[in-house]
Amino acid sequence: MMLAGQRALVTGAARGIGAATACALAEAGATVISADLDDASDTASATNGQAIQVDVSDETSVAAMFDVAGPLDCVVNAAGILIECPTLDMSVAEFDRQIAVNLRGSFLVAQGALKALSPRGQGRLILIASELAHLGRANFAAYCASKAGVIGLTRALAHEFAPDILVNAIAPGPTDTRMLSAETMSAEALALETQNPMGRIGTPDEIAATALFLAGPGASFMTGQTLCPSGGAVML
Ligand SMILES: NC(=O)c1ccc[n+]([C@@H]2O[C@H](COP(=O)([O-])OP(=O)(O)OC[C@H]3O[C@@H](n4cnc5c(N)ncnc54)[C@H](O)[C@@H]3O)[C@@H](O)[C@H]2O)c1
């Protein structure tokens, strides 16, 4: 129960990596607020916590979420979207939407988090990037750009807020969630996902384990880092 007595907020918590992270933090003793554009009440029930509806790309919505959440020890921003599209076919609206949710959303959640975390000692802010920020991939230009932006944001915030708030990112490799399914990705793109040294995709729990580490006492000397649980797809 290494997070006993702590309060955490996780966005993108209705499913996938966000839901697994909310559960991992709750199992470690934290009181967890689960926020999402969709209904996060299943995660809230599983964690004995509260669900909040939020659109992370919207300034007013994010401000309202932090008003409800109150003081926090840990914030994880896992909300994100992905649109696969050849660059020459991508509309400006599709490009802007991915930047708005993935990058502006990270900025807005970070701003709210940095205020909510400040009064409570060594707060932890964890942003979710992607292995594709490092690797790049055809037909995912906006997504790759948005996630590379998250890594830059992480480094800048780590400089600005150390030592009071530690800011780190996770750049997951392919993970078994709705984002990595035929609903959102082509068969060709999905086929690339097992091409890492471990030859498989990861589970949401394996990404949540990295978030739990960054939220816990073991990461007390770590800021500005991007950890890559990716089956070895990314080696830095
Ligand atoms: N699954 C992967 O292979 C993979 C790999 C690298 C990075 N990621 C990143 O991990 C994070 C979690 O993704 P996932 O794989 O669990 O996908 P997912 O699609 O299962 O979950 C994403 C969640 O974000 C929520 N969301 C989307 N837009 C939102 C908004 N505007 N405001 C609030 N919530 C919003 C969705 O409702 C959903 O619950 C994302 O940032 C994603 O880019 C995923």
Report which protein residue has its CA nearest ligand 1's atom 43: 80
Q: Is 2 within a domain?
A: no
Q: Regarding beta strands 31-36 and 74-77, do their DSSP bridges make them parallel or antiparallel, or are they unpaired?
A: unpaired
Q: Could you tell me the pLDDT band of residue 32, with boundaries at 50, 70 and 90?
A: very high
pTM of the model: 0.98
Q: Is residue 183 part of a domain?
A: yes
| Domain presence at residue 156 | yes
CATH code, 191: 3.40.50.720
Given a cut of 90, whether residue 161 has pLDDT beyond it is: yes
70-85 pLDDT, tens digit each:
999 999 999 999 999 9
Domain that holds residue 188: 7-226
What spacing in Å lies between the alpha carbon of 12 and ligand 1's midpoint? 6
pLDDT at 120: 65
Residues with CB under 6 A from ligand 1: 11-12, 14-18, 36-38, 54-57, 78-82, 101, 105, 128, 130-131, 172, 174-175, 177-180
Count of domains for the chain: 1
Digit-coded pLDDT (tens) for 41-68? 999 999 999 999 999 999 999 999 999 9
Is a pLDDT exceeding 90 seen at residue 201? yes
Cβ-in-10-Å burial (0-12, 13-18, 19+) of 223 comes to buried
Q: Which atom of ligand 1 is nearest to the CA of 202?
A: 3
What is the pLDDT confidence band of residue 122, given thresholds at 50, 70 and 90? confident
Helices (H), the chain: 16-27, 41-46, 59-69, 92-98, 105-117, 131-135, 141-161, 187-192, 204-215
Rounded CA-CA distance 20/198 in Å is: 22
Centre of ligand 1 from the C-alpha of residue 146, in Å: 13
* Catalytic residue positions, numbered: 143
